[in-house]
Amino acid sequence: MLLSHLECTACGKRHDWRQLQNLCVACGKPLFAIYDLEAIRKLDCLKQSSFQARGTSLWKWRELLPLPNDVEPISLGEGGTPLLRAKRFGGEIDVELWIKDESVNPTQSFKARGMTVAVSMAKFLGAKKLAVPSAGNAGGAMAAYAARAGLEAHVFMPRDTPRANIIECREVGAHVTLIDGLITDCGAEIAKRKEKEGWFDVSTLKEPYRIEGKKTLGYEIAGQLDWKLPDVVLYPTGGGTGLIGMWKAFDEMEKLGWIDSKRPRMFSIQASGCAPIVRAFEAGEKFAAEFPNAHTTASGLRVPKAIGDFLMLDILRKSNGGAIAIDDEEMISAVREVGSKEGLFVAPEGAACFVALKKLRAAGKISSGERVVIFNTGSGIKYLDLFES
């Protein structure tokens, strides 16, 4: 393992990775894992081609992940998801469209990527009880990996979280607490009780390793596209770890000499009823104020205040991308359109990206023939009540 230290994304303060860490002790902002990339680059056995023979699990990127080499990861076979060409949908609007389908991960969402790394590191560093606020898929993933690790799991969820997510958490052994409120209220309850209860908080970007699992999305799409990044990435954004993680992966790959400095234009896709990043981006703000009266049926997008807001906004601007909000009705309609054209039962969060693609194409922000990657972050199976209604 070539992990060097943890570094604050805001003030740069170094932290020891050998201790359980949440946020920066100086300024309270997220921490990044920093690797000795120069040492990795000098290893002849670690070229791009060497990883292709290691199977599909995201743990094939082991040297670029934080767990020591002699420690067995807590894994359910996550990663290695397909990148599917969407010829019918893309052809209608004249783009080269690809779908990264994260619904085939364990627990049926991209959250498995973050939790395999976060739970592996938490167990290695001595945590016994884990807690997470979740509006859906993160709770199910944490519960599953905690069960696999033999750790106690506590999941706090808004009372109106999709029923499938609540049942999933309970059936894999988690202690589930339903809160009258939003995911931010769930997080506040954990913060209030975690010290007394002995919980380690694995909230989005409030520990440094979920993002390390998510960054493998960037490594995978680069490898699947022959180490040439797409022109555009559309990503459904709640807490933003996938977006931020991919950007971190792109920087690491450039330093390793695997890709050049060209980056995709990154677009954050949110719900009209909860669009703090869209609002801040359009206003030219560095941080995103909490979105009032947040509401959307796409529970994964119902994050009114994200601690990584400044990181997301910086990425959108540096990449010459943007942010766009989609109405719930448009998302739900798009689920059936994508299903009938491409055979995928996408989650409403992923469906929002397809609506956004049409709007961005019509507005001239995406050009004819450009290579576009959409991330379907989960399965529509988790939202059956939504479609029945």
Per-residue pLDDT of the chain (389 residues; tens, 9 = 90+): 689 999 999 999 999 999 999 999 999 999 999 999 988 888 766 777 778 778 889 999 999 999 999 999 999 999 999 999 999 999 999 999 999 999 999 999 999 999 999 999 999 999 999 999 999 899 999 999 999 999 999 999 999 999 999 999 999 999 999 999 999 999 999 999 999 999 999 999 999 999 999 999 999 999 999 999 999 999 999 999 999 999 999 999 999 999 999 999 999 999 999 999 999 999 999 999 999 999 999 999 999 999 999 999 999 999 999 999 999 999 999 999 999 999 999 999 999 999 999 999 999 999 999 999 999 999 999 999 888 75
Q: Which of 157, 178, 201 is the last residue of a domain?
A: 201
From 201, 226, 254, give the residue that closes a domain.
201
Residue 11 and residue 14: Cα distance in Å, rounded? Answer: 9
Domain enclosing residue 31, as ranges: 3-64
Q: Which of 317, 329, 239, 245 is nearest to 276 (CA)?
A: 239
Domain membership flag for residue 155: yes
Q: Give yes or no: residues 334 and 246 share one domain.
A: yes
Q: What pLDDT shows up at residue 55? A: 83
Task: Report the residue count for the chain.
Answer: 389
* Residue 150 domain flag: yes
Residue 145 and residue 192 in one domain: yes
My answer on whether 280 and 381 are in the same domain is yes
Q: Output the pLDDT for position 29.
A: 98
Q: Are residues 126 and 242 in the same domain?
A: no
Question: Residue 77: inside a domain, yes or no?
Answer: no
Residue 75 is assigned to a structural domain of this protein: no
Comparing CA positions, the residue from 169, 208, 224, 243 lying closest to residue 65 is 208
Q: What is the CATH number of the domain that holds 126?
A: 3.40.50.1100
Is residue 254 domain-shared with residue 364, that is, in the same domain?
Answer: yes
Residue 268 lies in a domain: yes
From residue 278, alpha-carbon distances to 98, 242, 269 in Å are: 24, 17, 8
pLDDT at 44: 67
What per-residue confidence (pLDDT) applies to 52?
77
Same domain, 238 and 259: yes
Please give the full DSSP string across 50-80, using - where no structure is assigned. HHHTT-SSGGGGGGGSSS-TTS----SS---
Q: Are residues 161 and 247 in the same domain?
A: no
**One domain for residues 239 and 376:** yes
SS3 104: helix
Same domain, yes or no: 147 and 262: no
User: How many folded domains does the chain comprise?
Assistant: 3
Residue 243 lies in a domain: yes
Which pLDDT score, from 0 to 100, does residue 50 have? 77
Q: Which of 201, 229, 252 is the last residue of a domain?
A: 201
How confident is the model at residue 389, as a pLDDT? Answer: 58
Beta carbons of 191 and 199 less than 8 angstroms apart: no
